[in-house]
Structure 1
Amino acid sequence: MEHIYELYNDLPRQGPGDNASTKRALSLIPVLPEKPLILDIGCGSGMQTIELARATNGTVTGVDNYQPFLDVLLANAKHNVKTVNASMDQLPFDKGTFDLIWSEGAIYLMGFENGLNYWRDFLSPGGYMAVTEITWLNDNPHHEPKSFWQAAYPEMKTVAENLKTIKSSEYRNIGNFVLPESSWWEDYYFPLLSRIEWFRKKYSGNNAVLAIADEVAAEIDLYRRYSDNYGYVFYVMQKSD
């Protein structure tokens, strides 16, 4: 894990996303309190955390289990941002605390259904949740990405299947949209490719460590060739009470 974290250090984001998509998802929420309490789970270095604080005038608590990411977030945040070093499956908050729970590119670590069900308890009555989830964009993906993602994330589903999970997890669907391909490249894959080059030079000759870079590079190439097969989808929902 130490080398994986090192590879992903100094990136604008640790997963696909962009501020325009963050704001678009936020715009789907019909109403929030004047100063909402927001929890950003798996916030990483927190580009979206800062955007949420700016756009809502709320207090945003960023949660991650890697302190250097949280340090970057606090260094960049201007106002209304707190951080907590904790695991997303052991949140140290009272139930019903937050008006909005946010998570970009992280819920897969728990699994979509598990994350929705566990995090639900921390929402206030009628609170909202917005997450991005890696999703099949058609029913018959090519065998190559299908094989890769069945090994990496066997719970990966289609949009229709995820909407059924949202309903069965006692949320009301508000809306969803596919993140644009640019959100994979501009703040994530292009910087990551540069990071991979640096990483390979630093660990030249260390095949065990270089295998990490090779796996990430293969994932990037897979998306380059099969971006029409899968992508990240923003799902916005409201807790049913």
Structure 2
Amino acid sequence: MSHQPADDGLHGCATMSSDARLDAVFRDIHQGLPRQGPGTDAATLAALQLCTGLPEPTRVLDIGCGPGMQTLAIARSRNAQAVAVDVDETFLAQLNQSAGAAALADRITTRALNMNELPFGNGEFDLVWSEGAAYIMGFAAALRQWRPLLGPGGYLMVSELCWTTHLRPRPVAEFFAEAYPPMTDVETRLADIAANGYEVVGHLTLPDEGWWTHYYTPLERKLPSLRARYANDQAAGELIDETQREIDMRRQYRDAYCYEYFVAVRD
């Protein structure tokens, strides 16, 4: 899980606020990565296999798509028409380039949208997908707001950061108490899904290598050059330090938390 910038992006003002300036630093830290959070094509496809009986072409909405590795995996694996939305146009440009290179441009449409203000109609999609982004709205709030976008029997897949133990080492407990206070366990998230108009189909845990291959490893490689670039910027340096701390938490306490992929069908 990364510390996302404000979902409405940067405001076009002559003098950037402190928050807007740090949003720009955040984007600099994360620009060019294969993914904007943990995940793998294998995990995406394993979750997709739980979505049985989808019509073809499948109407897919990928919310908070980032550079869209999972969007590409879905479009590559089945006859789908995917709409991929993200507030950051840099990520969408990266996805458009990748889709063109993979000969998938005719299956993927990108739109720069705030996930809180999606303009789509009721029942417009067969499958709503969101890897590691529902927390921006709040997990339960995202479930409620996205449900009308699905037709009857439509599927939802969301991945979410979850605790795996109630015996949490103090450093990691304190870190996530600050980074993600609503973080809870898999059982609570399953109950949230059932309470918001869905039937749980299944769930799976992202293997540990899924945190590293396309996310933490390339992210960590960027940090030394970023420290040099922002050597005279204390606030930027603190954000870089916090990024390293997040990576170190995973390295030291990987058994305490997970990314869980939840698949549900609309009631």
Give the TM-score taking structure 2 as reference length. 0.88
Which deviates the most, 181-190 or 50-59? Answer: 50-59
Report the counterpart of residue 8 of structure 2 in structure 1: none
Secondary structure in structure 1 of the residue aligned to 2:117: coil
Secondary structure in structure 2 of the residue aligned to 1:89: helix
1:94 pairs with 2:130: no
1:62 pairs with 2:62: no
- Give, in whole Å, the separation in 2 of the partners of 1:199 and 1:169: 42
- Give, in whole Å, the separation in 2 of the partners of 1:229 and 1:202: 34
- How far 1:205 sits from its partner (Å)? 2.2
Of 185, 190, 194, the residue aligned with 1:158 is 185
Secondary structure in structure 1 of the residue aligned to 2:177: helix
Of 252, 255, 259, the residue aligned with 1:228 is 255
- How far 1:194 sits from its partner (Å)? 1.1
Which deviates the most, 141-150 or 166-175? Answer: 141-150
Contiguous gaps of at least 5 residues in structure 2: 1-22
1:119 pairs with 2:141: no
Secondary structure in structure 1 of the residue aligned to 2:165: coil
Of 49, 52, 72, the residue aligned with 2:94 is 72
Report the counterpart of residue 16 of structure 1 in structure 2: 38
For residues 1-241 of structure 1, the aligned pairs below 5 Å read 1-77=23-99, 78-79=103-104, 80-240=107-267
Secondary structure in structure 1 of the residue aligned to 2:210: helix
Contiguous gaps of at least 5 residues in structure 1: none
- Give, in whole Å, the separation in 1 of the partners of 2:225 and 2:148: 42
Q: How big is each residue's C-alpha offset from its partner over 1:207-233, in whole Å with a ceiling of 9 and x where there is no partner? A: 121111100000100111111000110
Secondary structure in structure 2 of the residue aligned to 1:38: strand
- How far 1:28 sits from its partner (Å)? 1.0
- Give, in whole Å, the separation in 2 of the partners of 1:137 and 1:210: 31
Aligned amino acid, residue 210 of structure 1: G
- How far 1:105 sits from its partner (Å)? 1.1
Aligned residues: 240
- Give, in whole Å, the separation in 1 of the partners of 2:126 and 2:95: 21
Identical amino acids, percent of aligned pairs: 40
Aligned amino acid, residue 91 of structure 1: L
Report the counterpart of residue 4 of structure 2 in structure 1: none
Q: How big is each residue's C-alpha offset from its partner over 1:167-193, in whole Å with a ceiling of 9 and x where there is no partner? A: 101100000111000000000000000
Report the counterpart of residue 20 of structure 2 in structure 1: none
- Give, in whole Å, the separation in 2 of the partners of 1:169 and 1:193: 37
- How far 1:139 sits from its partner (Å)? 2.2
- How far 1:95 sits from its partner (Å)? 1.5
- Give, in whole Å, the separation in 2 of the partners of 1:187 and 1:82: 23
- Give, in whole Å, the separation in 1 of the partners of 2:92 and 2:112: 8
Q: How big is each residue's C-alpha offset from its partner over 1:74-116, in whole Å with a ceiling of 9 and x where there is no partner? A: 0110220001101111111112100000011111111111111
Which deviates the most, 174-183 or 199-208? Answer: 199-208
Give the TM-score taking structure 1 as reference length. 0.97
**Aligned-CA RMSD value:** 0.9
- Give, in whole Å, the separation in 2 of the partners of 1:194 and 1:134: 23
Secondary structure in structure 1 of the residue aligned to 2:111: strand
